[in-house]
Amino acid sequence: MTAAPAGDRSLRSLPGPCARPLAALRAGIVVALLAVGGCSADKPPAGPASSARAPAPQFAPGSAGIGDPYFPTYGNGGYDVASYDLKLRYDPTSGKLGGTATIQATATQDLSRLNFDFAHLTASAVTVDGRQAQAKQDGNELVVTPEHGVVRDRPFTVVVRYGGKPAPLTNNELGVGGWMRTKDGGFALGEPESASTWYPVNDHPSDKATMTLAMTVPDGLEALGNGVPGPRHTAAGWTTWTWVEAAPMASYLSTVVIGQFQIKTSTHQGKPMITAIPDSLPADGPAAQAMARTGEIADFLATHFGPYPLDAYGGVVLDDNRVGYALETQTRPVYGSVFFRTAPNPIVVAHELAHQWFGDSVALERWRDIWLNEGFATYAEWLWLEHEGRQTVQQSFERQYAGFDWHEPPGNPGADDLFGVAVYQRGAMTLYALRKAIGDPAFAALLKSWPAEHRNGNVTTADFIAAAEKASGKDLDKLFQVWLFGTTRPPHP
């Protein structure tokens, strides 16, 4: 899904597989009508003048990567996904996952074939607009060749039936990402990639899409996902849990968690709030206490960042010693229990909830700009510490500034240092330096206008610099150059 300016949504709002882009209709491209199949009966008359003007489709394979300079194999070219509809079943006894993924997308070129990222699992049948397509698996790519090419700007639907034993991606310098099996269930989690271990996906944040998940698990287990809970059905010893994330979501922000949990459901600010604590942890212990503060902490952040941008609230705690981190999975961050061993550490909650504005609603266009996620989430920690009366934002800044190693530029950290200390702390210091340069009123306005203007969108560092210059009326190139890209200590702001 591409964030298009309002008024430019005509192509994506056309319903059904027989819908055609207006441009193709006007040009009367007969090939376009035949290409997807089943829709030729209503083709408009092709006038001699229009057929002379119409360029013939130039079918070519979509590329096997979306073009991210840090991760050339991530994502795929030639199409833009609008939605993933997953109907899956997981059997914890065998560790097997299977079902169907229905993917609605629009071609961004004339496609002779297209790829999905898909790791360890096996596709048994693939259709494109209801017709059997050829599917080949090559490493972590699923290569789909439809019977006919898919014409540019045309919506199409791919259904993949698949199954197997999911496993994490280990070819990742940044650690393990993806599906992890537990003794009674499993979960999928990881940044910058994880989704391809449980469904076929255009696995890059620049192609956001909505998601509907129906996950069937044995009775007695819980299955948590992103967004708003849907109906639950039980039949023959299995229960299907459904979750709908209606806001566009970057694929690494999708998650599913299966196990034995105590789930709390409530309404916060008129939206569903779902938190979950594993049964292995005390129901009123520090992890539960931290989750209980989710609404309060989100409301505090909203005073700085503007209205909460998503359709649901929540959080899931995982009691698994392989999870020594937290991740801002959309609407429902996942927290390793390590954060809540002795106290209900609200700082990590503030960090992950800040990502719902910065990282999730406003997502990256390319991984290089990761400081736009982590720098803001770290700055949010500083705001929280000040709110709690523990230390001011200025004190947080000074503690980092004194003795910092300035060698790594947060604006271009390199793929292997995507989550290095510079991205988090110097990213936050950059925001503090900006605040000093443009003054508190302009900075406060920017912290709200940025997530409002780019809600559900994708951004780059250049977009943020432009927004800061607009909010302040100042030329800020030098400041950002020094703070994001320099390798020596910037002057004290």
Given the rule CB under 6 A, which residues bind ligand TRP? 174, 177, 189-191, 325-328, 351-352, 374, 419
What distance in Å separates the CA atoms of residue 400 and residue 378, rounded to the nearest whole number? 12
Q: H-helix or E-strand containing 349?
A: helix 346-357
24/250 with CB nearer ligand TRP:
250
Per DSSP, 50 falls in state: H
Residue 355 CB, shortest distance to ligand TRP, in Å, is 6
Residue 445 CB, shortest distance to ligand TRP, in Å, is 26
Residue 437 CB, shortest distance to Zn ion, in Å, is 24
What distance in Å separates the CA atoms of residue 435 and residue 447, rounded to the nearest whole number? 10
Tokens 């560092």 -> residue:
461
Q: Beta-strand (E) ranges in 75-147?
A: 79-91, 96-107, 111-117, 122-128, 131-132, 134-138, 141-145
Q: H-helix or E-strand containing 164?
A: strand 155-164
Residue 352 CB, shortest distance to ligand TRP, in Å, is 6
Q: Which of 347, 337, 223, 344 is nearest to 284 (CA)?
A: 344
Residue 337 CB, shortest distance to ligand TRP, in Å, is 14
Q: Which does 419 bind (CB under 5 to 8 A by kind): ligand TRP, Zn ion, none?
A: ligand TRP
Take residue 40 and report the two structure tokens written for it.
């030729």
70/419 with CB nearer ligand TRP:
419
Residues 6 or more apart from 384 whose CB is under 8 A from it? 297, 300, 346, 347, 350
Angle (CA) 459-20-54 rounded to 5° is: 95
The binding track of 351-380 with respect to Zn ion, each residue x by CB under 5 A or -, is -----------------------x--x---
Take residue 492 and report the two structure tokens written for it.
């004290």
60/174 with CB nearer ligand TRP:
174
Residue 1 CB, shortest distance to Zn ion, in Å, is 23
Per DSSP, 303 falls in state: H
Residue 355 CB, shortest distance to Zn ion, in Å, is 6
174/452 with CB nearer ligand TRP:
174
54/188 with CB nearer ligand TRP:
188
154/351 with CB nearer ligand TRP:
351
Residue 339 CB, shortest distance to Zn ion, in Å, is 13
Query: In degrees to the nearest 10, what's the CA dihedral of 255, 260, 264, 267?
Result: 30
CA 283 to chain CA centroid, nearest Å = 30
153/360 with CB nearer ligand TRP:
360
Q: Check: CB of residue 116 under 8 Å from CB of residue 199.
A: no
Q: Beta-strand (E) ranges in 194-237?
A: 209-218, 222-224, 228-229, 233-235
Take residue 9 and report the two structure tokens written for it.
């949504």
Q: Which does 59 bind (CB under 5 to 8 A by kind): Zn ion, ligand TRP, none?
A: none
Q: Which of 291, 217, 219, 213 is nearest to 258 (CA)?
A: 217
| CA-only gyration radius of the chain, Å | 23
196/242 with CB nearer ligand TRP:
196
Residue 370 CB, shortest distance to ligand TRP, in Å, is 9
Q: Which does 326 bind (CB under 5 to 8 A by kind): ligand TRP, Zn ion, none?
A: ligand TRP
Number of chain residues interacting with Zn ion (CB under 5 A):
2
Residue 30 CB, shortest distance to ligand TRP, in Å, is 49
What distance in Å separates the CA atoms of residue 148 and residue 128, rounded to the nearest whole number? 9
Angle (CA) 79-85-90 rounded to 5° is: 125
Residue 174 CB, shortest distance to ligand TRP, in Å, is 6
Take residue 269 and report the two structure tokens written for it.
């600010």
- For CA atoms 100, 105, 109, 110, the dihedral sign is positive
Take residue 392 and report the two structure tokens written for it.
């001011």
210/378 with CB nearer Zn ion:
378
33/310 with CB nearer Zn ion:
310
129/374 with CB nearer Zn ion:
374
| Binding residues vs Zn ion (CB under 5 A) | 374, 377
